Amino acid sequence: MRLSGITKRFGSLLANDGISLDLAGAEVLALLGENGAGKSTLVSILFGHYVPDAGTIEAFGAPLPPGDPAAALAAGIGMVHQHFTLADNMSVLDNVMLGTEPWWRLHSQRRAARRRLMETAGRFGLAVNPDARVGALSVGERQRVEILKALFRDAKILILDEPTAVLTPQEAGGLFATLKELVRQGLSIIFISHKLPEVLRVSDRIAVLRDGKLIDVRDARHAGEAELAHLMVGREVAPPQVRPHAVGALVCELNDVAVGGADGLAGVSLALHAGEITAIAGVAGNGQQALADVLFGVVAPDRGTVRVDGRALPATPRAWIGAGVARIPEDRNAVGTIGDLPVWENAIAERHAGAFARHGFVRRRAARAYARRLVQRFDVRAGRGVDTPARALSGGNLQKLILGRALTGDGDEKIAHVPKLIVARQPTWGLDVGAVAFVHQQLLDACAHGAAVLLISEDLDEILFLADRIAVIHRGRLTEARPANAWTASAIGLAMAGSSATEHADAA
Amino acid sequence: MRLEARGQTARGWLIAAPFAAVAVTLAICSLFVAWAGAPLMPTYAAIFDGAFGSRFAWSETLTRATPLMLTGLAVAVAFRARLYNIGAEGQLYVGALAAVALGGIAEVASLPPILVFAGMLAAAMAAGALLLLVPALLRTRLGVDEVVTTLLLNFVALLFVSMMLDGPMKDPAAMGWPQSVSLPDTLQLPKLIERTRVHAGLLIALALAVLLWGLLKYSTFGFAARAVGANPRAAAFAGVRVERTMVIVALLSGALAGLAGAIEVMGRTGYVTLDMSPGYGYSGIVIAMLAGLSPLGVVLASLFVAGILVGADSMSRAVAVPTYIADVIVAVALLSMLVATVFARYRLRWS
């Protein structure tokens, strides 16, 4: 396959700038780059989701019509999206067959399809039960179904978009073995990631993207992590400084908290102390959102108690904000900020009826002055300053705004405000390296100043870097929170996959 | 050709959009004028003349604009909080009926008029507010689409008014017509200009427009309403009481529409009939959209719509174009405005 001069613009953003790449047979080409570097745009163009503004794609010597996923499929390009595109309520076989049969055929050729599926699965060593309901499968198994779906359609080129993001370390290892087998049988793979170690491990060549441009293509055998990191980021980023912090008093205590629902909690107990970062590791969709929602004051637990400073708080955001809880939600656009409102109104949103209100009116002058200080201190880049609508901010700047709002409280500079408790859900998701370092530094600093920090993240590297104590969540249950140095990455991985917690306690 | 999102909408666009929409509307409606076989420029000139060409024309336009301002404000405040109140028409009628129900009782004549005035306005606002409270609670508690409920309640309200006017509230002196008793002269709003129909209701409407503008822009309630309208999930996360805000907005919106009915009765007609509103409630939607949901914009937009309605009346006497052209212009203006708001967020790209 050959890409030449692919260019794509979104408004004023140049997502892909004249990218030319070759993919040889039976090789793994990694697309490495930060979030927003243009990796996803490029593969979306490859697969026909987007029409490029300029440039052409050739597959096996024949030009590929732009913007036509069906043509991409027919040309042997298969894609495994980061967010799976499977129907949970159907069986594995149904999912694999979906869309492969013409609608006018009266009889579905299930028997033949089943035979072919088993054949394919056997050939590549991907064990599946064709009759299992997809909704009942683990994430790793679902990914296997996605890969099979592509292979069933005779894919010769497989595109994997951040495939390890949802996997435990063990599952990722299994995936890498599968990829090796696929390549051995002659398939080509495009592997998208921003994690250096795994890129070096699986790929033959590494294409580094930055700001929509192809920076370099390196041979994986002769590339080092530091060198790739520099290419990817394009500048030096000072790593966050970990300051010593002393563990203080108990700040927040959850006792046997249960929340209903598929992604709920089944009796979670946890104690959070001042000056300590406690992290919750886990595969996405195991109750993290419910746990965060309880601690954001958005959801009331069905059972159990939550106490902050020994006081049970009602499930209203106001009560939690008032109690000194800094809340950082996962979705910056849908939950964290109000896009149509300007930066300054977003900055005071949590206190519009509290510190920034007088006689039912918003203290605009004080609010704007506060917002200006916040923007300066947290380095929020906004075109028209505090009057810029929040929707015009980049993800990193939006996160700085949310962080600033949560961490500065009522904004009186004379009082060094430190929240009692910081609940951060995926605080660095989708941010570039510089912004990630900034967020980490803020969390570390707040902790050093005596805040209790709860970090709920699906990024294991982040957790291992920041956490003093780690607990693992699986199907709404939490393991004991143990000191970070008592865990190994593989022990965390096993707990993420749900092997019993006591077993590991014994092993440790 | 395709649409492409604008990163940021320039302020100028938001202000220019309604004017562009009106220009496009007049261009489109030229086709209808031509179809009616009338000369184009004289027709539009006649509409303008009939609306703003003389003291009398101005007075008629202002009279017509008064209830439109209030229904426009009612819709604008509701839409701001993303509560789609399509029921201003029904709220206007129950407001009018409530005002007359109180003011028409013979016994109140002995009370000081100022008290009765206040009572009538309060009754009308309460009636309108209650009529919108029901759909608002259905929406916040049960998730029932308020577009459907408020729209259908218009017919319920109108039939209820019809029942009252044909029954308990029928004026015995009206020779069988279904209309309410007339308000005594002491309970009618004073005229602002002699020998015209412009009445003090205009001042109330203007004052409320300014008040509402300030409320939305400066008050904590206004912040909550705008936040809920822009992103209810984020507003709830930040501690805005979404349900409470919605209910207050509903009460405010319904009260404004109910007030429109009371002021129309107390300022212009003097009694309630089933044809007292030529769709003021629905025109309020057009006005609110043309105004970009800004209370101050509502004042201008209601003058435009009132001018079209009044001007078309006098134009049809001079040129052979039916007055229905006014309805067409108002309707096309809404569609043009909706398209203009799309272009405020997106720009066209030719590829």
Query: Quick check: B59 pLDDT over 80?
Result: yes
B233/A335 touch (CB, cutoff 8 Å), yes or no: yes
Nearest to A352 by CA among B213, B219, B233: B219
Residues A396/A400/A401/A404 CA torsion (nearest 10 deg): 170
CA distance B155 to B170: 20
Q: Are A47 and A70 in contact (CB under 8 A)?
A: no
The pLDDT, as a whole number, for residue B296 is 96
Instruction: Supply A423's token pair.
Output: 């609940």
**pTM, whole model, 2 decimals?**
0.82
pLDDT tens track for B3-29: 666 666 677 777 888 889 999 999 999
Q: Which residue, chain included where needed, has tokens 């510089």?
A: A434
Is A493 an interface residue toward B (CB < 8 Å)? Answer: no
Q: In sequence order, what are the residues at sequence separation of 6 or more whose Cβ sits closer than 8 angstroms to the Cβ of residue B16?
A: none
Partner residue facing A361 (CB), from B6, B220, B238: B220
CA distance B207 to B188: 19
pLDDT tens track for A461-496: 889 899 999 999 998 999 989 998 888 888 888 888
Query: Quick check: B299 pLDDT over 60?
Result: yes
B240/A361 touch (CB, cutoff 8 Å), yes or no: no
Superfamily classification of domain A250-336+418-507:
P-loop containing nucleotide triphosphate hydrolases (3.40.50.300)
CA A502 to chain centroid: 29
Residue type, A6: I
In Å, what is the CA distance from B300 to each residue of A96, A196, B65, B250, B306? Answer: 60, 60, 9, 24, 10
Query: Quick check: B304 pLDDT over 80?
Result: yes
The pLDDT, as a whole number, for residue A211 is 84
To probe the interface with B, which of A289, A320, A340, A352 has the most B CB atoms within 10 Å?
Answer: A352
Partner residue facing A298 (CB), from B223, B231, B237: B237
Q: Which residue, chain included where needed, has tokens 């080129």?
A: A157
Closest chain A residue by Cα to residue B235? A338
Is A162 an interface residue toward B (CB < 8 Å)? Answer: no
> How many Cβ atoms are within 10 Å of A104's Cβ, its own excluded?
5
CA distance B13 to A301: 47
CA distance B76 to B60: 24
- Burial tier of A499 (Cβ tally within 10 Å: 0-12, 13-18, 19+): middle
A2-233: what fold? Rossmann fold (3.40.50)
Q: Give the DSSP letter string of B232-280.
A: HHHHHHTT--HHHHHHHHHHHHHHHHHHHHHHHIIIIISS--TTS-SSH
A11/B8 touch (CB, cutoff 8 Å), yes or no: no
- Containing B26, the helix (H) or strand (E) segment is helix B11-35
Which residues in B lie closer than 8 A to residue A289 (C-beta atoms)?
none
Q: In sequence order, what are the residues at sequence separation of 6 or more whose Cβ sits closer than 8 angstroms to the Cβ of residue B97?
A: B127, B161, B164, B169, B180, B261, B272
The whole-angstrom distance between A174's CA and the closest CA on chain B is 39
CA distance A500 to A352: 46
A362/B221 touch (CB, cutoff 8 Å), yes or no: no
A316/B220 touch (CB, cutoff 8 Å), yes or no: no
In Å, what is the CA distance from B139 to each residue of A29, B82, B88, B221? Answer: 52, 11, 17, 20
**Average pLDDT for residues B55-60, to the nearest whole number?**
93
Window A:243-302, CB contacts with B under 8 Å = 296, 298
In Å, what is the CA distance from A117 to each residue of A33, A84, A163? Answer: 34, 19, 22
Closest chain B residue by Cα to residue A335? B234
Q: In what order do the strands lie in the sheet with A28-33?
A: A77-80, A157-161, A188-193, A28-33, A205-210, A213-219
**Average pLDDT for residues B83-95, to the nearest whole number?**
96
The whole-angstrom distance between B300's CA and the closest CA on chain A is 24
Partner residue facing A345 (CB), from B223, B236, B239: B223
pLDDT tens track for A216-225: 888 888 888 8
Query: Quick check: B57 pLDDT over 60?
Result: yes
The whole-angstrom distance between B18's CA and the closest CA on chain A is 20
Mean residue pLDDT of chain B comes to 90
Closest chain A residue by Cα to residue B216? A361
Domain span(s) for CATH 3.40.50.300 in chain A: 2-233, 250-336+418-507
Query: Quick check: B202 pLDDT over 90?
Result: yes
The pLDDT, as a whole number, for residue A458 is 86
Window B:208-237, CB contacts with A under 8 Å = 218-221, 223-224, 226-227, 230-231, 233-237
B7/A321 touch (CB, cutoff 8 Å), yes or no: no
Intervals of chain A under pLDDT 70: 11-12, 409-417, 500-508
A335/B221 touch (CB, cutoff 8 Å), yes or no: no
CA distance B326 to B308: 6
Q: What is the 3-state secondary structure (H, E, C) of A75-114?
A: CCEEEECCCCCCCCCCEHHHHHHCCCCCCCCCCCCHHHHH
Left, alpha or beta for B184 (phi > 0: left; psi -120 to 50: alpha)? beta
Q: Are A390 and A343 in contact (CB under 8 A)?
A: yes
Q: Are A304 and A257 in contact (CB under 8 A)?
A: yes
Backbone CA torsion sign across B236, B238, B244, B247: negative
Q: Compute the count of residue pairs across chains A and B with CB atoms less than 8 Å apart.
A: 82
CA distance B255 to B94: 11
A388/B8 touch (CB, cutoff 8 Å), yes or no: yes
Is A218 an interface residue toward B (CB < 8 Å)? Answer: no
Q: Which residue, chain included where needed, has tokens 């938001």?
A: B14
Instruction: Supply A322's token pair.
Output: 């008032």
B220/A360 touch (CB, cutoff 8 Å), yes or no: yes
To probe the interface with B, which of A327, A338, A343 has the most B CB atoms within 10 Å?
Answer: A338
In Å, what is the CA distance from B53 to each residue of A265, B58, B140? Answer: 71, 7, 48
The pLDDT, as a whole number, for residue A410 is 58
CA distance A253 to B28: 66
To probe the interface with A, which of B11, B14, B220, B350 has the most A CB atoms within 10 Å?
Answer: B220
CA distance A299 to A336: 16
Instruction: Supply A192's token pair.
Output: 């998208």
Domain covering B39-319 in this structure, CATH number: 1.10.3470
- Containing A478, the helix (H) or strand (E) segment is strand A477-478
Instruction: Supply A214's token pair.
Output: 């192809």
CA distance B257 to B273: 17
Is B7 an interface residue toward A (CB < 8 Å)? Answer: yes
pLDDT above 90: percentage of residues in chain A: 28
A335/B224 touch (CB, cutoff 8 Å), yes or no: no
A350/B234 touch (CB, cutoff 8 Å), yes or no: no
pLDDT tens track for B115-167: 888 999 999 999 999 999 999 999 999 999 999 999 999 999 999 999 999 88
Is A336 an interface residue toward B (CB < 8 Å)? Answer: yes
